[in-house]
Copies of this chain bind each other. A is one copy, B any other.
Amino acid sequence: MRSVTSLLRANRLLSLRKPLFRTPPPLTSHPTKKSFTTTAPHYKFQISLPKRKPEVNMGSDMTAKNGKPFDRAALEQLMKRRFFYTPAFDIYGGVSGLYDYGPPGSALTTNIVDIWRKHFVLEEDMLEVDCTMLTPHEVLKTSGHVDKFADWMCKDPKTGEIFRADHLVEEVLESRLKGDKEARGVKVEEKEEDPKKKKKKVKSIPVVKLEDAVVKEYEETLAKIDNYNGEELGLLMKQYNIKNPATGGELLPPVAFNLMFQTSIGPSSNLPGYLRPETAQGQFLNFQKLLEFNNQAMPFASASIGKSFRNEISPRSGLLRVREFLMAEIEHFVDPSGGKKHPRFNEVKDVELELLNREVQLSGKTHVSTTKIGDAVASGLVDNETLGYFLARIQLFLLRIGCDPKKIRFRQHMANEMAHYAADCWDAELLTSYGWIECVGCADRSAYDLSVHMNKTGAPLQVSERREKPLEFEEWVVDIEKKKFGPKFKKDAKTVETALESLAEDLREKLSLDLSKDGKIVIDVPNVGDGKVELTKDLVTIEKRKRVEHTREFTPNVIEPSFGIGRIFYALCEHTYWSREGDEARGVLSFPPTVAPTKVLIGPLFGQKTEFKSYSQALKAKLRKLGISSRIDESGVSIGKRYARNDELGTPLGITIDFQTLEDNTYTLRDRDTTKQVRGDIDQICEAISQLVEGTASWEDIAARLPAFESADAE
Contacts and interface: CB of A to CB of B under 8 A. Distances in A.
B132 A100 contact: yes
28 contacts: A83-B292, A88-B285, A89-B135, A89-B136, A91-B285, A91-B288, A92-B136, A92-B138, A92-B139, A92-B285, A92-B457, A101-B129, A101-B130, A102-B289, A103-B127, A107-B128, A109-B130, A134-B261, A134-B309, A153-B267, A162-B266, A162-B267, A261-B264, A262-B263, A264-B311, A266-B311, A295-B633, A295-B635
Question: Which 9 A/B pairs are nearest by Cβ-Cβ distance?
Answer: A91-B459, A101-B130, A100-B131, A103-B127, A91-B457, A106-B130, A98-B132, A261-B263, A106-B128
A271 interface: yes
B324 A89 contact: no
Nearest to A86: B289
B103 A293 contact: yes
Interface string A126-170: 011111111110110000000000000100000010100000000
Nearest to A628: B122
Interface in A74-98: 82-83, 86, 88-92, 95-96, 98
Contacts of A631: 125
A50 B246 CA distance: 69
A38 interface: no
A257 B264 contact: no
A102 B127 contact: yes
Contact of A132 (B88, B266, B285, B456): B88
Interface of A: 82-83, 86, 88-92, 95-96, 98-103, 105-107, 109-110, 117, 122-123, 125, 127-136, 138-139, 153, 160, 162, 257, 261-268, 271, 273, 275, 282, 285-286, 288-290, 292-293, 295, 306-307, 309, 311, 313-314, 323-324, 453, 456-457, 459, 461, 624, 629, 631-633, 635
Nearest to A98: B132
B162 A83 contact: no
Given A99-B132, A307-B307, A311-B267, A88 B293 contact: no
A567 to B, nearest CB: 16
Contacts of A89: 135-136, 139, 285
Contact of A285 (B90, B139, B629): B90
Determine chain A's interface SS by DSSP, over half rule: mixed
Contact of A286 (B100, B109, B131, B324): B100
Contacts of A83: 289-290, 292-293
Contacts of A307: 133, 306-307
A103 B129 CA distance: 5
Contacts of A265: 95, 98, 261, 311, 323
A656 to B, nearest CB: 18
Copies held by the complex: 2
A268 B624 contact: no
Contacts of A286: 86, 90, 100, 102
Contacts of A309: 134
Contacts of A110: 117, 128
Given A101-B129, A266-B313, A285-B90, A95 B136 contact: yes
Nearest to A109: B130
A268 B311 CA distance: 11
Contacts of A267: 153, 162, 257, 311, 313-314
Contacts of A264: 261-262, 311
Contacts of A138: 92
A268 B134 CA distance: 22
Nearest to A96: B266
Nearest to A322: B132
Counting chain B CB atoms within 10 Å of each CB, which of A91, A92, A109, A306 scores highest?
A91
B103 A128 contact: yes
Contacts of A275: 263, 275
A562 to B, nearest CB: 18
A508 to B, nearest CB: 35
A655 B96 CA distance: 53
A268 to B, nearest CB: 5
A555 B91 CA distance: 16
